[in-house]
Amino acid sequence: MGYERQADFGTPEVRSDTQVTCSIDGREVIVPVGTTVMRAAALTGGSIPKLCATDNLKQFGSCRLCLVEIDGMRGTPASCTTPVAEGMKVHTQTPHLQKLRKGVMELYISDHPLDCLTCSANNDCELQDQAAAVGLRDVRYGYEGENHLGAMPDISNPYFDFDPSKCIVCSRCVRACDEVQGTLALTIDGRGFGSKVSAGLASDSFLSSECVSCGACVQACPTATLQEKAVKEIGKPERAVVTTCAYCGVGCTFRAEMRGEQLVRMVPWKDGKANRGHSCVKGRFAWGYAQHQERILSPMIRESIDQPWREVSWEEALTYAAGQINRIRETYGRNALGGITSSRCTNEETFLVQKLIRAGFGTNNVDTCARVCHSPTGYGLKTTFGTSAGTQDFDSVEDSDVILVIGANPTDGHPVFASRMKRRLRQGARLIVIDPRRTDLVRSPHIAADYHLPLRPGTNVAILTAIAHVIVTESLANEAFIRERCDWDEYQHWAEFVSAERNSPEFLAPVIGVDPEAIRGAARLYATGGNGAIYYGLGVTEHSQGSSTVMAIANLAMATGNIGRRGVGVNPLRGQNNVQGACDMGSFPHELSGYRHVSDKATRDLFEAEWGVKIDPEPGLRIPNMLDAATDGQFKAIYIQGEDILQSDPDTKHVAAGLAAMECVIVHDLFLNETANYAHVFLPGSTFLEKNGTFTNAERRIQPVRKVMEPLNGYEDWQVTQELARAIGLDWNYTHPSEIMDEIARLTPTFTGVNYKRLDAEGSLQWPVNDKAPDGSPIMHIEGFVRGKGKFVVTDYVPTDERTGPRFPLLLTTGRILSQYNVGAQTRRTANVVWHEEDLLEIHPTDAENRGLKSGDWVKLASRSGETTLRALVTDRVAPGVVYTTFHHPATQANVVTTDYSDWATNCPEYKVTAVQITPSNGPTDWQEDYEAQATLSRRIVGHEGAMEPAE
C-alpha cells in the first residue's frame, strides 16, 4: 500500500444488538445504539472536522471543531459527544457551522507556528488538514500577543521528541496514556492559557518520568508536538506494509512505514486483533537492531573454534556444512545429528527446520526453545483439557470479573496485553496476584490487587492445592459444570485429595510463606467473583513441578466452571513471538506438527507419503539430553536456527561443555551470539522485516509476517534452510512460504483451513481452523471439552531438590524487564539500553543490611553451579530470603548460577528457583574473565583484525 493515515472514525466502536437509523447530510445510516454522530458520519464516508477526537479514545468534547446542527435540537452540539437517535437528521456542513469552525481554528492557529513547509509533520498533520477543511485563510489576531511559540522542546526520550510550541492542548496524549496504556504518566499542568502537557512532575523530563515509551501519545498527537525522531531525521514515509511484531507472544500488528528500503517507523495497526492499535517500547521503537553494524551478513566457516572465522560464499558455507553433516552421519550414525528450531522465526521456517532434521538428517533429535519456557503448558493442558494451548483470545479479558495472575509479569513481559488487562481492572474487575515479587501490576494507578500472595519460590503447587482445598471444603465448586463436562469420578478422587488437612492453607502456610487467611480470601474471590480468568507465565512453568502447576491451574478452572466462554479460561502468556507456532509445527522430538506422537503409525504414514522418506518412530533427544549426549561423545552435530542456548539455557558451563564436544555446530542467526563462540559454520539470518511467513501468538492466532525490505544477508531464513537441505541431497523446491503453509495444512488437522489467501483476506485466523471450526476458534471448549471430558489430575506438592542451606541461604528467581527482550540480542542493540544497561540483583533491605550492601554495590552471586558478579539494587519488592535478577546481558551470565534441575514431565529448566549466596565483590569472577577471553578469541574474523569485533 502507499502511505496514507489509517481511517479514524473519531470515537470508539459501540457494541449493541439494537440498531438506530439516522440521516447525515441526507445520507441514511444504521448504527448500533450509542454510536456518536461523529462516528456515524464517518461511516457514511463523511468527515466532520475534529482535533481532540480519535477513535481509540473516549470522546472528550473539548476542541469545539466538530459542531453540527441537528433538526429539532437547539444550538450546535459537538458530534463527538452526541449519540445518534432514531430518525435524527444531522447537518454537518452549513454556512453557520463553517463560520463557527473557522473561528475556533483561527484561535488555535494564532498560537501555533506557521512553519508548515519545514515542519516534520508537513502533509501528515491533522491540524494542517483541519485548517484546510474549515477553509481558514487568515488569522486576524496576529502573533504579537502572549504565546507558547518559544517553548523549549524535550528531547530526552531516545525515540520521540516533545515540542510544546506546537501543542494545541487537545489532551489526546494524556488520554492515550490514561486509557490505552494505563500508565497515567502524562497530565495537563496549569490552567487556562498556562495549560501544558507535562510528563510526571514539573521537574521531570519524558525520560525521567514514569513514561514507559509505549508510543501511544505519539500516535495520538494530531500535530508535530509528539513525534518520532526518525520521522524528523528521515522524512515522511512513502509506502507502508502491514506485518506482525517479532518480539513477545502478544503478536501486535504494525504498519511498517518505509522510505525506500529504510524503515521510518512502526505504527500499531488498529485492525490488529491482538493489540487493537496499541504497542510497547520494543515493537514500536526497538527495531534498530535490524540494521545494526554488528549484524553478520556473510557466511563464515572454520574447522575448529580456536581459529578465527573465515568469510566464504554461501555455496562454500553450505557445501562445507553439508559435508560435515554427511560425514558425521556416516561415521557416528544419524542419531549423532540434531537441530533446534526457533520461536523467533516463522511457522514456515520452523516447519522446514524440523522437516530437515527428520527427513534429511533422519533423526527426531529436534527441539525448540519452548523446551525452556512453555513445554509444561503443552503437557499439562493436554492432560487435563485434551488440548495443548490457551483457551481464550485476548478480547476475552474484557468480560473477566476476577483476574488471577500467577507467575507472570505482564506489564513487563506482555505489555500490550497488560494494558488491556489494566483497562478491565480499572473498570472494576478484581485482581489476585500470586508472585514472590511485588510486580507493577500489584499496585498501579487506579489498580490495587485484592490479594497479593508473595509465595516462596518453588511452592506454586502447594498454594494452588491450598486454594483448591478452600474451594472444595467450603462447597464453592461448580458441581453442575463438573458433572456435565468433566469426569465425575476423577473429580471426586481429586476433591478427596485436596480436602485432606495436609493440603489446607493453614497446614501449608509455613511452606508457602503466605498468610492462610489471604489464601482463603483469594480462593473465595476466584470461585465466587463471577467470570474468573487465570493468566500465567514462566513463573509457573520453569519449575521442577511446572507441568503439575499447569494441571493444578486447569483443575481450579474446571472446579469453578471457568472454562468455555468469554471472560474465563486458562491463559498461558507465551514468551516469544512464535513459541506457540514453533510448538504447533512439530518442533518437539516426540511430536509431528499438530502434537501427534511419532509412534503413531497413521500420522507417520501421512508424512512419509508427503515427504517420501521413512520417519523414525522413536522420540528424539530434548535439548538438555542432546547436551548430555554430546558430553558423552554420542552427539556430534547440531543446526541451531535463531536460538542462543549458551546464554538462555540453564547451567552455562554444561551447555558450553556440550557445544565444545561437538564436531559441527551450525549457527543460523543475525549476530555472532554466545552460542556462536562454539560454532564452526555461521549462516547469516534475516530479520522479520525481511521475510514472508506467519507467526502464531499466545491466543493461537496465526498472523501474516510480510517482507518489508529485501534481506540484507541475501536470503530469507526459509531459503537458507532449503539450500542446506539441497546441499545434503534433498529435492526441495519451495518458491514461496505460502507453499510451505499449504504443506502444513495438508499434514496438520488443526490447520486444514489455513492458507495465505484467507490470512490476507481475514487478517488472522485462530487455530483450530478446519471443518469443525471453519472460521477458527477464538475461545475453546464452548460446548464442552473438545476431546471428551475434562480430566482432574491429582497434583501432589513435591518440593524441589534445590534447597537453601547454610552455604546458599537465599532463593534466586529470575525474570525480565519491559525494555529488554530475552537474551537481549535485539534490544541491547537499540536505544532501549537507556532504561536498562545491565542486569541488577534485587535484594531485600534486611538481607542487604546483613551483608553490608547498598544499592549500586558489586556483589558476587554464587550457587552450587557457579558464580557471577553484578550490581545490587536494594528493594522491598522482593521478600526477605528472596533475590531476583534478569538475564538480558551476557556479561552477567545469570545462567552460570542456575542449575540443571528441571520439570519432571518435560525437562523445562527450573530457572525460577536457585539457592544462592550473595557476598560483596570487587570485580568479575574468574569465570566471567575466562568467558570474556574465550568469546573475544572466538569472534575474530579473518580480514577484520583491525576493526572492532562484533560483540554479543
- Chain residues binding another protein by CB under 8 A are 335, 365, 379, 382-384, 386-389, 497, 544-545, 547-548, 584, 589-590, 594-597, 599-600, 602-603, 618-622, 625, 628-629, 631-632, 634, 749-750, 767-768, 770, 772-773, 777, 780, 786-787, 791, 793-794, 796, 798, 900, 904-907
Residue among 454 and 586 whose Cβ is closer to another protein:
586
Query: Smallest distance from the beta carbon of 743 to another protein, in angstroms?
Result: 17
15 exposure class (CB count in 10 Å sphere: 0-12, 13-18, 19+): exposed
Q: What share of the chain is helix, strand, coil (3-state, %, to 5)?
A: 35, 20, 50
Residue among 174 and 908 whose Cβ is closer to another protein:
908
- Please state, in angstroms and rounded to a whole number, the distance separating the CA atoms of residues 373 and 910: 10
Query: Smallest distance from the beta carbon of 589 to another protein, in angstroms?
Result: 8
Residue among 202 and 602 whose Cβ is closer to another protein:
602
Query: Smallest distance from the beta carbon of 657 to another protein, in angstroms?
Result: 10
Residue with cell 501421512: 606
CA atoms within 13 A on the CB side of 237: 22
Query: Smallest distance from the beta carbon of 738 to another protein, in angstroms?
Result: 22
Query: Smallest distance from the beta carbon of 786 to another protein, in angstroms?
Result: 5
Query: Smallest distance from the beta carbon of 750 to another protein, in angstroms?
Result: 6
- Please state, in angstroms and rounded to a whole number, the distance separating the CA atoms of residues 316 and 309: 14
Beta carbons of 622 and 609 less than 8 angstroms apart: no
Q: Let me know how many helices (H) and strands (E) the chain has, helices first.
A: 29, 36
CA dihedral sign of residues 913, 916, 918, 922: negative
If you ran DSSP here, which 8-state letter would residue 419 be given?
H
Strands 637-641 and 366-368: unpaired
Residue among 83 and 589 whose Cβ is closer to another protein:
589
Residue among 382 and 844 whose Cβ is closer to another protein:
382
* Secondary structure element (H or E) that encloses residue 263, with its range: strand 262-268
- Please state, in angstroms and rounded to a whole number, the distance separating the CA atoms of residues 102 and 911: 63
Residue with cell 498454594: 463
Query: Smallest distance from the beta carbon of 760 to another protein, in angstroms?
Result: 24
Query: Smallest distance from the beta carbon of 756 to another protein, in angstroms?
Result: 22
Contacts of 344 (CB under 8 A, 6+ apart): 246, 576, 577, 578, 642, 643, 688
Query: Smallest distance from the beta carbon of 819 to another protein, in angstroms?
Result: 33
Helix axis angle, 601-611 to 737-747, nearest 10°: 150
Residue among 507 and 904 whose Cβ is closer to another protein:
904
Helix axis angle, 126-133 to 95-109, nearest 10°: 140
Query: Smallest distance from the beta carbon of 674 to another protein, in angstroms?
Result: 23
Residue among 258 and 765 whose Cβ is closer to another protein:
765
Q: Give yes or no for a cis peptide into 768 (omega within 30° of 0).
A: yes
Residue among 554 and 672 whose Cβ is closer to another protein:
554
Query: Smallest distance from the beta carbon of 792 to another protein, in angstroms?
Result: 11
CA atoms within 13 A on the CB side of 928: 18
Q: Hey, which residues does 810 pair with through a beta bridge?
A: 916
Residue among 242 and 557 whose Cβ is closer to another protein:
557
Contacts of 757 (CB under 8 A, 6+ apart): none
Residue among 315 and 618 whose Cβ is closer to another protein:
618
What's 866-892 look like in SS3?
Answer: CEEEEEEEECCCECCCEEEEECCCCCC
* Encoded amino acid at 848, one letter: A
* Secondary structure element (H or E) that encloses residue 693, with its range: strand 693-696
Residue among 295 and 791 whose Cβ is closer to another protein:
791
Residue among 198 and 800 whose Cβ is closer to another protein:
800
Residue among 759 and 786 whose Cβ is closer to another protein:
786
Beta carbons of 680 and 307 less than 8 angstroms apart: no
Could you give the C-alpha distances from 555 to 37, 331, 389, 461, 548, in angstroms and in order? 48, 49, 15, 11, 10
Helix axis angle, 516-528 to 505-512, nearest 10°: 120
Q: What is the DSSP string of 590-640?
A: TEETTTEETT-HHHHHHHHHHHSS---SS----HHHHHHHHHTT---EEEE
Residue among 544 and 713 whose Cβ is closer to another protein:
544
Query: Smallest distance from the beta carbon of 908 to another protein, in angstroms?
Result: 12
Query: Smallest distance from the beta carbon of 581 to another protein, in angstroms?
Result: 12
Which string of b and e fits 743-773 if b means at least 16 CB within 10 Å? bbbebbbbbbbbbbebbeeebbbbbbbbeeb
Query: Smallest distance from the beta carbon of 428 to another protein, in angstroms?
Result: 32
- Please state, in angstroms and rounded to a whole number, the distance separating the CA atoms of residues 420 and 699: 14
Residue 56 cell numbers, joined: 481509540
Query: Smallest distance from the beta carbon of 383 to another protein, in angstroms?
Result: 5
Query: Smallest distance from the beta carbon of 350 to another protein, in angstroms?
Result: 15
Residue among 103 and 617 whose Cβ is closer to another protein:
617
Residue among 59 and 387 whose Cβ is closer to another protein:
387
Residue among 124 and 663 whose Cβ is closer to another protein:
663
Residue among 386 and 845 whose Cβ is closer to another protein:
386
Query: Smallest distance from the beta carbon of 632 to another protein, in angstroms?
Result: 4
* Encoded amino acid at 518, one letter: A
Query: Smallest distance from the beta carbon of 323 to another protein, in angstroms?
Result: 26
Residue 831 gets the label, from left (phi > 0), alpha (psi -120 to 50) or beta, of: alpha
* Secondary structure element (H or E) that encloses residue 479, with its range: helix 479-485
